[in-house]
Amino acid sequence: MKIALVHDYLTQKGGAERVFELLCKRFPEADIFTSLYDPKATIDLGERIVNTTFLQKIPGAAKYFRMMAPLYFPAFRALNLQEYDLIISSSTSFAKAVQKKPNARHICFCHNVTRFLWDTQTYLREYGDYRYFAPLIEKIFDMMRKVDLKYAQEPDLYIANSSVVARRIKEIYGKKAIVINYPIDTSKFSFSQNKDEYYLASARMISYKRLDIIVEAFNWLGWQLLISGDGPEKERLQSKALDNVKFLGHVSDTKRTQLFSKAKSVIIAALEDYGLVPVEANASGTPVVAYGAGGVLDTQIPGKTGVFFKRQTPESLQGALLESREISWNYDSIRNHAVKNFSEQAFFNKVEQVIEQSCSTQKSFT
């Protein structure tokens, strides 16, 4: 069976690219396709050949890849994948548009629906320079939404990283998605039965992470809170924090691992589509206290691996923290939960089962 692996663009290194890297390692004989490729800015693909589109020939396209938005769909439609029996796309936007031969199978790892088209106001808010061109952009986006809906019908099967994303795929694209939670490298996290008296928040200091809620809650409780990470909100948060809250800034991977393993709990106040931090905490044998919406509903067991708070308020978080204080946590059980459900091996056991079933179904109709 000849396999093609397709990703939107390889110009950065985020969660979607990390999943694609895992797919590339799992299928070493597969051919790799993407619209734009900057080997210095993205995942390490070693000596693998990366096939690109006509966009690669445009000067500066890899650096200003977001500006290429109207050209991605025609670029992916122009790719010739007629010799492949299985196409595995990794997409938050465009790669799902590739064409296949009639008896081939296309499985899409959809990290999200095309966010800048379907959540445009958030997109414009995050990229402030774009708001000045909003009227023109909205006209272009309106046309692109129609194209996005059309090409969203191309994949034979969608795999989503969480129930939240699966619902969006169903609501917007009208396609059912199988949920397979994305993995972490559990070997990179150390386990400790002995917890120190501090709590930990590990996040970029941007507004939607809601670190302000966490700081205010710990100001009131007086318990020790360590915060790792940097970002534009840091100065504002520091100005509000009392002496029991310590800002660590960026920490090394080794230090971060130590912090996770010794923390009493890891605190998450953001609404995440999926979120790896709660799983990383569990892999360290550490429970989480998290806002009970979004991806944590897929990864956490209340009272066993974590505690939820219902509202994004300091008062609601305080209640969950006090509740967590009364639980006799089984740290071994928390670690085992992460290894069993969110290791790379567990991930690919599920993925390969889905691929086998999907390809078998296709053969039965050809």
Q: Determine the pLDDT at residue 136.
A: 80
Q: Determine the pLDDT at residue 12.
A: 87
Could you give the CA distance from residue 148 to residue 76 in angstroms, rounded to a whole number? Answer: 12
Q: Determine the pLDDT at residue 366.
A: 46
Q: For the packed helices 15-26 and 344-364, what is the interaxial angle rounded to 10 degrees?
A: 70
Say what the alpha-carbon torsion angle 246, 249, 254, 255 is, to the nearest 10 degrees. -10
Say what the alpha-carbon torsion angle 59, 62, 63, 66 is, to the nearest 10 degrees. 110
Could you give the CA distance from residue 344 to residue 261 in angstroms, rounded to a whole number? Answer: 20
Q: Determine the pLDDT at residue 13.
A: 83
Could you give the CA distance from residue 238 to residue 338 in angstroms, rounded to a whole number? Answer: 33
From the CB of residue 121, how many other CB atoms can be counted at a distance below 10 Å? Answer: 9
Tens digit of pLDDT at every position of the chain (366 positions)? 999 999 999 998 877 898 899 999 999 999 999 999 999 999 999 999 999 999 999 999 988 888 898 899 999 999 999 999 999 999 999 999 999 999 999 999 999 999 889 987 765 655 556 667 777 878 888 999 999 999 999 999 999 999 999 999 999 999 999 999 999 889 889 999 999 999 999 998 988 899 999 999 999 999 999 999 998 899 999 999 999 999 999 999 899 999 999 999 999 999 988 888 999 999 999 999 999 999 999 999 999 999 999 999 999 999 999 999 999 999 999 999 999 999 999 999 999 999 998 887 665 444
* Nearest one of 329, 50, 49 to 193, comparing CA atoms: 329
Q: Two tokens at 187?
A: 């070997």
Q: Determine the pLDDT at residue 74.
A: 96
**Helix H or strand E encompassing 247:** strand 245-249
